[in-house]
Amino acid sequence: MDTLDSDLLRTFLAIADAGSVTDGAARIFRSQSAASLQIKRLEETLGQPVFDRHGRGVTLTEAGEQLIPVAREVTSRLDQTLRSLRADGMTGSLRIGVPDDHSHRFLAQIIAEFAQSHPSVELHVTCDLSARFPQALANGALDLAVYEVERPDNPDSVLWRDQTYWVASRHHDLLTQDVLPVALFDRDCWWRDAALEALNRLGRPYRVIFSSQSVTGVAAAIEAGIAIGLLGESSLNDTLVQLTPEQGFAVMPVSNLVLGTAGTGETPARKGMTDAIRRAFQNERF
């Protein structure tokens, strides 16, 4: 007998709330193809579609509308039960750094669940640019932080790897312009340095016409067709096309998402949060 898998329901809720498969997949830190496959399995189980596809987005079918409240109740009760069973007497305080980036909302969810499981632990969460976290850890301003680097100091600290690519809008031809328009991340970011180095090697005129501190901003500029830019594989969708070495664009580095900790002594709260973050990333299928 077929049953409803709670993991499929979580993916369904993420996509329904986001209004698109791409944005929904980002919310649960899965690839677009993995999320689409889960929705296909859900629809096969139900024997009918839960979404109507249109353009870049989705809307709920009648079956999807009926499923929404049930999915919310089931996943909420499962989460509450898990938190209750895991609850303990852990105390202390913890200062955490989280990238100010939409693709890492997944981390906010982990922190929220940790707070509910360990209500006696006082949490102070800082959202900022990844480039600022190593110094904050070094000077003791943070206890632990998740951030992106090109070359990790410790391979064991890596949570996830994301290949970066030069990309452009599939519907706009910018390569024929005399001066290549480019969208880049703002200054405190190694992605910007890597992109500028590659552009200088390209040997053709370019102009940075758009800068942003977030993936959302850079991706929006590229999708709008006003510039090319550098994005991670997890941010790609069917409106974008990769620019290749045959077109003069070099193979770009891998971005490593790492978990860093301060040099101070281990505490139960820090170990608990570190374990929770690592466990969540290990359990995800990208």
**Residue 285 has what pLDDT?**
43
Domains identified in the chain and CATH numbers = 6-85 (1.10.10.10), 89-150+256-283 (3.40.190.10), 162-252 (3.40.190.10)
Q: What is the pLDDT along the chain (286 residues), one digit of tens a residue?
A: 678 899 999 999 999 999 999 889 888 888 889 999 999 999 999 999 999 998 778 999 999 999 999 999 999 999 888 777 766 677 889 999 988 664 466 787 788 888 877 888 899 988 887 888 999 999 999 999 999 888 888 888 999 888 999 999 999 999 999 999 999 988 778 889 999 999 999 989 999 999 988 888 899 999 999 999 999 888 888 899 999 999 999 999 999 999 999 987 788 899 999 998 888 887 664 4
Nearest to 162 by CA among 218, 228, 235, 213: 235
**Residue 245 has what pLDDT?**
93
d(CA 94, CA 53): 43
Count of other CB atoms within 10 angstroms of residue 194: 19
Count of other CB atoms within 10 angstroms of residue 242: 13
* pTM greater than 0.75: no
Which token pair is 78?
Answer: 């499962």
**Residue 235 has what pLDDT?**
85
**Residue 182 has what pLDDT?**
97
Total residues found in the chain within this entry: 286
d(CA 168, CA 70): 40
d(CA 257, CA 230): 16
**Residue 286 has what pLDDT?**
41
Nearest to 10 by CA among 55, 57, 63, 77: 77
Question: DSSP label at 251?
Answer: P
